[in-house]
Amino acid sequence: MIQRTVLIRELENMQEWKEAYPVVNQLRTHLDEVSYLQLVQEATQKEKYKMAALYENEKIVAVTGFMPMITLYNGRFIWVCDLVTDSDHRSKGYGKALLSYVHSWSKEHGYDLVSLSSGLQRLDAHRFYENQMEYDKVSFVFLKRI
């Protein structure tokens, strides 16, 4: 039996964000590495965006990005911007572990609500959020490109 060493930690600098790119790119396929790094840096500086990675045997295999927000609808809450597990490492509980990390971080920092959106085509993800993570489906997200 192969032993796995699993660890979650926040990514805090350009080199760590760069190491996460191959996994993030599986979800955000429209971003090249340069655009991705620029957006992470700007979101971190201006929006308090956080990125955390799950490492299996010292290699990043899953990533989440999240940030505090305030809206009249939700009040103060955490928005999960990104959640992705490398295609070769799915169904190992890594998404659940990362969302649990976000939930713990949220509680520790005084947030009692976590929200996210998921593409209409991602039916497996919807089942995961609703059935395994006990999220409620409360709205649709609409987008207009201007």
CA-CA distance, 104 to 143, in Å (whole number)?
30
Query: What is the chain's pLDDT, residue by residue, as a tens digit (146 residues)?
Result: 667 899 999 999 999 999 999 999 999 999 999 999 999 999 999 999 999 999 999 999 999 999 999 999 999 999 999 999 999 999 899 999 999 999 999 999 999 999 999 988 888 888 999 999 999 999 888 889 99
How would CATH label the architecture of 6-132? 3-Layer(aba) Sandwich (3.40)
CA-CA distance, 50 to 102, in Å (whole number)?
10
pTM, whole model, 2 decimals?
0.92
DSSP 121: T
- Sheet order of strands, 75-85 included: 6-11, 50-56, 59-71, 75-85, 114-116
Give pLDDT, residue 3: 75
Picking from 34, 29, 94, 33, the residue whose alpha carbon sits closest to that of residue 59 is 94
Give pLDDT, residue 23: 98
